[in-house]
Amino acid sequence: MKYLLVSLLLVTVVWAEKVPNEADYPTEYQVVTTSAISGGLMLGNFCTMGLRDETHTFIVQKRGHGGYHVWDSKAIFHGRREKSGISLLVQDKGKLKIEHWPIAGTVMANSAITH
């Protein structure tokens, strides 16, 4: 009886998993540059990407002791800018999921240089 109850609970949790709505991620971001550095046990890992939309280039970075996937240059994702990061809608093993990348810096993409 216990196993039946646990199985039913697991099926309910998997069924209730929310699938991201593509319409909630209207901005198109292109990966410009990527970098992944392993800093060892003391420093952890640093994964950095440059993401470009129509007006800005964002430098986003994850750091910590886990493994992070850095996407290939010129890959295009739909996403949205949030308060301190960018959420990207990515395809992982055939399923849509959301990856949140904190913003480390911003560069104006179409800024003119004046002398």
Residue at 9 is within a domain: no
Residue at 86 is within a domain: yes
Residue at 45 is within a domain: yes
Sign of CA dihedral 40, 30, 86, 50: positive
- Residue 74 above 80 pLDDT? yes
Contact 98, 92 (CB under 8 A): no
| Mean pLDDT computed over 68-91 | 90
Residue at 89 is within a domain: yes
Residue at 13 is within a domain: no
Share of the chain above pLDDT 70, in %: 71
Residue 18 pLDDT = 72
Residue 38 pLDDT = 78
- Domains identified in the chain, total number: 1
Residue at 3 is within a domain: no
Residue 6, H or E segment? helix 2-15
Residue at 62 is within a domain: yes
Which residue segment(s) compose the domain that 56 sits in? 20-108
